[in-house]
A and B are shown apart, each in its own frame.
Chain A
Amino acid sequence: MKTYENTGNKDTRSGFGAGLDVLGDTNPDVVALCADLTGSLKMDAFKDKHPERFFQVGIAEANMMGIAAGMTIGGKIPFTGTFANFSTGRVYDQIRQSIAYSGKNVKICASHAGLTLGEDGATHQILEDLGLMKMLPGMTVINTCDFNQTKAATIAVAEHKGPVYLRFGRPKVPNFTAVDQSFEIGKAVKLQEGSDVTIVATGHLVWEALEAAKTLYDQGILAEVINIHTIKPLDEEAIIKSVKKTGCVVTAEEHNYLGGLGESVARCLTQNHPRPQEFVATQDTFGESGTPAELMEKYGLNAKAIVEKSKKVIERK
């Protein structure tokens, strides 16, 4: 099997900051807006180098979304930055009417998604955002897995015409994808070839899926691992092709099993190639305070959980 080297733990939000910094130098139409979380979103480099294109909106996310929508009129490409919770649930109607329905070219960049936000607890740990965003017609939904991929995705979404939800996180996690990768929206990345089970993972769960595949390999189980950075539009062809080969699937995400990646994959397979599926996701619950590792263990979102679900789904074949 392929081996992936962790070149050093880094946070995905810093990947966003690095990508935004590149865009600041390369695309004069890119503007950035932030709701009092510039440091947390790693937007300082852009802010310092391009102060005329950086807009501090204050703790007023609804206004930020509306201003971003308005700035597209005149040709700007706004990137909004705040936590995932405040990027989605708090401003859902602003996004729905002023951005999605109005077809505005806004990039909603959301950090601190999911349980790995950690100690701040459930008020800030949104586990419903992928569902909220993927239900909006015309919205592209991306959840990146490491620093390098987040940087590449940030640069790529500037070239995409239309609203995008770009989700990433707070903690330092393994950085293992290629440094100067090209990022193709809607194109799944196959990380491991396998024949016994397909693991479709997104975000922080992609590295966990690779770790799970190693454990499974040692036990004689060949897992195919797909990094599905784009939840919408879903690369259905890649998923169907893989599941036709393996005959079962485990989906893995840092999100509620209702409305997330898993349901998108289930819908796709039900329509095209029904096979057993298991879900590594939170089970319709809020989070709580704790370290990211403690929380991922308690809520069953790690390599261990993926191994267990893989064995279970293989038995159901």
Chain B
Amino acid sequence: MAEKPNLKDFVTQVRRDILRQVHKVNSGHPGGSLGCAEFFSVLFTEVLRTKDNFDMDGKEEDLFFLSNGHISPVYYSVLSRSGYFPVQELNTFRHIDSRLQGHPTTHEGLPGVRIASGSLGQGMSVAIGAALSKKLNNDKNLVYSLHGDGELQEGQNWEAIMYAAGNKVDNLIATVDYNGQQIDGSTDDVLPMGNLKAKFEAFGWIVLEEDNGNDIDAVRNILANAKSKTGQGKPVVILLKTVMGNGVDFMMHTHAWHGKAPNDEQLEIGLNQNPETLGDY
């Protein structure tokens, strides 16, 4: 295994990648991507046990599914910087003939992606299916998934949440990006989420909460804690409080940058706040 990069530097570079991807094509979703930079960086560099070469079946390795596919910029950045495809390919994000579609897809054969996502609310079911497949294959590796908090307004999630607990899918760690924001405003304004912890617990899940989802050590610890809770007859969810737009001051604490690209000047400000570390693509 290659030497682990300094995670702080890794995250900073990921933030630059996010900003540069959406700026170049003047579209995409920087806010949620920035909020999840630490989660993706820790997960892919330290947590996931994966084989050297990507294959769709993913037997004998951990799997990850992104349900809220619109945060593809962070996904693509971390996949490429974890060796799934050349970093230079980030230049093609959302361009014609690219494997880096606006929302992730298997259709163009991009290594690292095992399901299309973007139409919200479907990833939990897919992750459960993959987890059931692992059980049938006597494969002890784990399935991780990420979901937006607003995404939980889609009813299919609750079908899946009920199923996973009722059928003891205990090789699954779902994480909710709990940033309290969605396109039209705060989740409390759009459709109040209520007490998510109580809701998941009522369905029979093990619920872990982390209020510092943009702190590398906190993310590392909560993922380790979650892993220790698997195999106990219950699915595990992490409610990971993050700040949308984290690391770029004018994008933080607002839903305004959910799906908006920075202009030239805003890009420069954002990049100045996140100096180049691992090398731009």
Q: Which residue from chain B places its CB closest to the CB of A33 in the assembled complex?
A: B129
From B118, B131, B132, B134, A97 is in contact (CB under 8 Å) with: B118
Residues of A with C-beta under 8 A to B155: 62
From A52, A62, A71, A101, B105 is in contact (CB under 8 Å) with: A101
Q: Which residue from chain A places its CB closest to the CB of B67 in the assembled complex?
A: A66
Report if A68-B129 is in contact (Cβ < 8 Å); known contacts: A76-B136, A98-B116.
yes
Q: Does B82 contact A (CB under 8 A)?
A: no
Report how far A74 CA is from B128 CA in the complex, Å: 12
Residues of A with C-beta under 8 A to B129: 66-73, 78
From B122, B137, B163, A98 is in contact (CB under 8 Å) with: B122
A102 and B163 contacting across the interface, CB-CB below 8 Å: no
Residues of A with C-beta under 8 A to B159: 58, 60, 62-63
Residues of B with C-beta under 8 A to A67: 125-126, 128-129, 132, 160, 163
Q: Which residue from chain B places its CB closest to the CB of A91 in the assembled complex?
A: B156
Q: Does B254 contact A (CB under 8 A)?
A: no
A63 and B156 contacting across the interface, CB-CB below 8 Å: yes
Report how far A98 CA is from B139 CA in the complex, Å: 23
A70 and B130 contacting across the interface, CB-CB below 8 Å: yes
Query: Which chain A residues (191-208) contact chain B, with CB distance < 8 Å?
Result: none
Report how far A103 CA is from B116 CA in the complex, Å: 9
A70 and B105 contacting across the interface, CB-CB below 8 Å: no
The distance from the CB of A285 to the nearest CB of chain B, in whole angstroms, is 30
Binds A, one of B53-61, B201-209, B258-266: B53-61
Q: Which residue from chain A places its CB closest to the CB of B109 in the assembled complex?
A: A103
Q: Does B162 contact A (CB under 8 A)?
A: yes
Residues of A with C-beta under 8 A to B106: 101-103
Residues of B with C-beta under 8 A to A104: 115
From B105, B115, B125, B136, A63 is in contact (CB under 8 Å) with: B125
Q: Does B133 contact A (CB under 8 A)?
A: yes
Query: Which chain B residues (7-64) contact chain A, with CB distance < 8 Å?
Result: 56-59, 63
Q: Which residue from chain B places its CB closest to the CB of A61 in the assembled complex?
A: B159
Q: Does A75 contact B (CB under 8 A)?
A: yes
Residues of A with C-beta under 8 A to B134: 74
Report if A74-B125 is in contact (Cβ < 8 Å); known contacts: A101-B116, A102-B107.
no
Q: Which residue from chain A places its CB closest to the CB of B157 in the assembled complex?
A: A63
Report how far A42 CA is from B178 CA in the complex, Å: 43
Report how far A66 CA is from B147 CA in the complex, Å: 15
Query: Which chain B residues (127-151) contact chain A, with CB distance < 8 Å?
Result: 127-134, 136-137, 139
Interface size on A, residues (CB 8 A): 32
B59 and A75 contacting across the interface, CB-CB below 8 Å: yes
Query: Which chain A residues (29-83) contact chain B, with CB distance < 8 Å?
Result: 31, 52-53, 55, 57-58, 60, 62-76, 78
Q: Does A289 contact B (CB under 8 A)?
A: no
Report how far A72 CA is from B125 CA in the complex, Å: 12
Residue of B122, B128, B137, B160 with highest tally of chain A CB at under 10 A = B122
The distance from the CB of B73 to the nearest CB of chain A, in whole angstroms, is 20
Report how far A73 CA is from B122 CA in the complex, Å: 15
Residues of B with C-beta under 8 A to A75: 57, 59, 133, 137
Q: Does B175 contact A (CB under 8 A)?
A: no
Report how far A96 CA is from B117 CA in the complex, Å: 11
Residues of A with C-beta under 8 A to B117: 97
B130 and A65 contacting across the interface, CB-CB below 8 Å: no
Report how far A104 CA is from B130 CA in the complex, Å: 12
Residues of B with C-beta under 8 A to A57: 163
Residues of A with C-beta under 8 A to B137: 74-75
Known pairs A63-B159, A104-B115. 20 more at Cβ < 8 A?
A31-B136, A55-B167, A57-B163, A58-B162, A62-B122, A63-B125, A67-B163, A68-B129, A70-B126, A70-B128, A70-B130, A71-B133, A73-B57, A74-B139, A76-B136, A97-B117, A98-B115, A98-B126, A101-B107, A103-B107
- B-side interface residues toward A, CB under 8 Å? 56-59, 63, 65, 105-107, 114-119, 121-134, 136-137, 139, 155-156, 159-160, 162-163, 166-167
In the A-B complex, the 9 residue pairs with the closest CB atoms:
A70-B129, A66-B125, A74-B133, A63-B159, A60-B159, A67-B129, A70-B126, A71-B129, A70-B130
- A-side interface residues toward B, CB under 8 Å? 31, 52-53, 55, 57-58, 60, 62-76, 78, 93-94, 96-98, 101-104
19 contacts between A and B (CB under 8 A): A55-B132, A55-B167, A58-B166, A60-B163, A62-B121, A62-B125, A66-B122, A66-B123, A66-B124, A67-B125, A67-B129, A67-B132, A67-B160, A70-B125, A74-B134, A97-B117, A98-B116, A98-B122, A103-B107
